[in-house]
Amino acid sequence: MDHPIQLLTGKSKSKKASKLNSIATDSYRALKINIEFKAIGKDIKTLVITSSMRGEGKTITSLNLAIAYAQSGKKVLLIDADLRKPGVHLLFEGDYGRGLTHFLINESTLSETIQKTNIPDLSVITSGSTPSNPSELLTSPQMDILINEVKQNYDIILIDTPPILGFIETKMLAAKCCGVVFVVEHGIVKKSVASKAKDEILSVKANLLGVVMNKMKKKEASI
């Protein structure tokens, strides 16, 4: 694209909002460092970001982690592979063009699908149109082709997927990628549900790099 799509920043002039944004930024930088520490000695290039159910913050975690990598000088690609209920495009404004679905059904080339953003070193592939067969598309040879090609041109690829429970494509992608980051909304998701989701990740021998406890208050995190 000639003009990068713009991140919706939701700018606020309040000191409280600025402080919260700073804390959040530091948290995602710490998450990136923890992932890198866990992956010492391994070539981690593809990360699946998932959760046990919807609404736990996996998409915003995917974006902010992608930004943290980009700000560290990495060339980053964020892919919205949640074809049932995509969210990455909602975080940007502008002409979204063709997305992942269009590439998977051979209606666009990879270069037409990848979009630059206004954040240096961060590109995205939005979901594209909603397909009737998301599982088949995401587990197709064409998806393998996409992953293999972008690995040649990016330092790190983050894939925002559907929740792990109930969606076979998430397990398939988790098994193919270098690592999985599991997002859990603190205080909302039952322990039994989170445990079941973790077991689903491990059942395909995916490399679970860590769990992100989302929406946890600072005083709770220090306990």
**Other residues' Cβ atoms within 10 Å of the Cβ of residue 95:** 10
Instruction: Please say whether the dihedral angle defined by the alpha carbons of residues 189, 194, 196 and 201, taken in this order, is positive or negative.
Output: positive
- Contacts for 196 with CB less than 8 Å, ≥ 6 apart: 52, 165
pLDDT tens digits, 190-223: 889 999 999 999 999 999 998 888 766 554 443 3
Q: Across-strand partners of 77?
A: 123, 157
**3-state SS assignment for residue 125:** strand
Spans of all domains in the chain: 14-221
Which residues of the chain fall below pLDDT 70?
1-3, 9-24, 94-97, 215-223
Name the helix (H) or strand (E) containing 34. Answer: helix 15-38
% of the chain beyond a pLDDT of 70: 86
What pLDDT sits at residue 2? 52
What pLDDT sits at residue 46? 97
What pLDDT sits at residue 32? 92
Query: What is 14-221's CATH number?
Result: 3.40.50.300
pLDDT tens digits, 103-114: 999 999 999 999
Q: What share of the chain is helix, strand, coil (3-state, %, to 5)?
A: 40, 20, 40
Name the helix (H) or strand (E) containing 20. Answer: helix 15-38
Closest CA to 139 of 88, 181, 175: 175
Which pTM does this prediction carry?
0.87
What pLDDT sits at residue 121? 96
Closest CA to 179 of 31, 11, 26: 31
- C-beta separation of 191 from 218 below 8 A: no
